[in-house]
Amino acid sequence: MVRAEDLLVRRLGPCEFPSPIGKTGSVKHGVGVDDRLLYDDRLSSLGEQVDRDGPLPSFEVAGAHEKIYFDPAKTRAGIVTCGGLCPGLNDVIRGLVMVLHHRYGVRAIEGYRYGYEGLNPAFGHEPMVLTPDLVESIHKDGGTILGSSRGQQPDDVMVKFLKERGVNILFTIGGDGTQRGALDLSTEARKQGMDLAVVGLPKTIDNDVRYVEQSFGFQTAFTRAHYAIETAHNEARASRKGVGLVKLMGRHSGFIAAYATLASNDVNYCLIPEVDVSLEGEGGFVEHLDKRLERRGHAVVVVAEGFGQSYVEAEGTDKSGNKKLGDIGPWMKDLISSKIPDASIKYVDPSYLIRGLPATPHDSVLCFRLAAYAVHAAMAGLTDMLVGKWHGRFLNVPIPAVSRQRQCVDPAGELWFSVLEATGQPRAWGAPQPV
């Protein structure tokens, strides 16, 4: 249940400085920055909604404001990138610097090295001074010029560090864990009486952050995954009973597997964490695959890394606190080769190859726009929020609302239905998995 109050963004205080750029326009259906957007826009739900007490849940629209909270001439902004790489990180850094500098006139911008480590003086990482000249061409490289790391640092240490440097705004580019960390840091800052705006840019190659319809880098990732599938398809077709088996990223959410499957037209089985599948036994995956190999001579199987974790063991967590996953790829390879001994299996694991290169032009556009909205929000004194996208529009979303739940492929929704249509795999396989 989403409540209206869950979607309200916190503000540091009233805006008193005139913005040098003015506010984002709002004619007709280009929803304006002063407006709010319904959380639920189904006609069917309207009746129940308007009847009940209290306001309808709705989102604040992202955009530039007429008045801003910080005086640009005196503002110092910091940027940090955390967690694993994602295409577009440099685009986002570049966008933040460009809009801060050229549009608002902010001159003091700095980048912290290697994730939150860069905010802990114990590591001795000197912050980078970020200027338009420095960032001009960085988006042509993958990775992040700031470096990254996993995990949190002590909040009091980081707040002290920021306070001493006179930082007013902190942009946190990272996933779920990073944003929860940002929230803690912000809470600590408030406790210490520091006037700090913390604005997140959600980074998730798995596309699993809620209220972020399609995260930056995701299109780049599934575009690259698509070529891995095409390769596996060509390998499979060239062998008698050839099976192309492709493992793709997707710890809890199978979006990369689903979209790459839809893009490739050549996938026969798409296995994701959200949908349970009987692998063996009558009517199960292996039997179905075997029949297809007899009938058609080859097959392509895509499996997301988070699928079938009940079969593969793994212990412990990584530094981000994520549970380590067992490696389902080789396990599936062994399963198929043991059950269908004359199959010729070509296993492909593109791993980092889908995330280490520069963003596609589409993702570059998305990164620039996210960065601009993040700057607008921060300059207006909004905090503890990230820039999301819902029903096609950019929004300011409170971090707590986001981190309550992961975004997953809905096994009863239209995306998965499309995957079933594209692959022809049985709809009956497995009930939706609890997420």
**Residues in region 113-142 near its own copies by CB under 8 A:** 114, 117, 137, 139-142
Q: Are 40 and 49 in contact (CB under 8 A)?
A: yes
Examine residue 157 and tell whether it contacts its own copies (CB under 8 A): no
**196 or 382: whose CB is closer to its own copies?**
382
Q: How far is the CB of 408 from its own copies (least distance, A)?
A: 11
Contact at 8 Å (CB) between 401 and 7?
Answer: yes
Active-site entry in 91, 155, 206, 276: 206
Cβ distance 348 to 260 under 8 Å? no
Separation of CA 248 from chain center: 16
The size of the chain, in residues, is: 435
Choices 38-46, 162-170, 183-191, 396-404; region in contact with its own copies by CB under 8 A: 38-46
- Give which of 404, 38, 413, 390 is closest to 211, Cα–Cα: 390
Instruction: Give the ranges where 59-124 is alpha helix by DSSP (H).
Output: 89-98
Q: State the minimum distance, in angstroms, from the CB of residue 16 to its own copies.
A: 23
- Count interface residues toward its own copies (CB under 8 A): 104
Distance CA 184, CA 180 (A): 6
Closest listed residue to residue 222, CA positions, set 270, 275, 181: 270
Query: Residue 173 belongs to what H/E stretch?
Result: strand 169-174
431 near its own copies, rule: CB under 8 A: no
- Check if the beta carbon of residue 343 is closer than 8 Å to that of residue 299: no
Ramachandran class of 114: left when φ > 0, alpha when ψ lies in -120 to 50, beta otherwise: left
Return the number of the residue (44 or 310) whose C-beta is nearest its own copies. Answer: 44
Q: Report the nearest approach of its own copies to the CB of residue 78 (Å).
A: 18
- Please identify, using beta-carbon distances, which residue of 164 and 414 lies nearer to its own copies: 414
Q: Which is nearer to its own copies, 6 or 184 (CB)?
A: 6
If one asks whether residue 208 binds its own copies (CB under 8 A), the answer comes out as no
Give the span between the Cα atoms of 89 and 114, in whole angstroms. Answer: 13
Q: What is the CA radius of gyration of the chain?
A: 23
Residues 210-239 interacting with its own copies (rule: CB under 8 A): 213, 219, 222-223, 226-228, 230-235, 237-239
Map the footprint of its own copies across residues 251-310, applying CB under 8 A.
Answer: 259-260, 262-265
Using CB under 8 A as the binding rule, whether residue 392 contacts its own copies is answered as: yes
Contact positions with its own copies (CB under 8 A) in 341-380: 346-353, 355-357, 360-362, 364-365, 368-369, 372
Residue 148 in the binding site for its own copies (CB under 8 A): yes
Does the annotation mark 184 as catalytic? no
Active centre residues (catalytic): 206
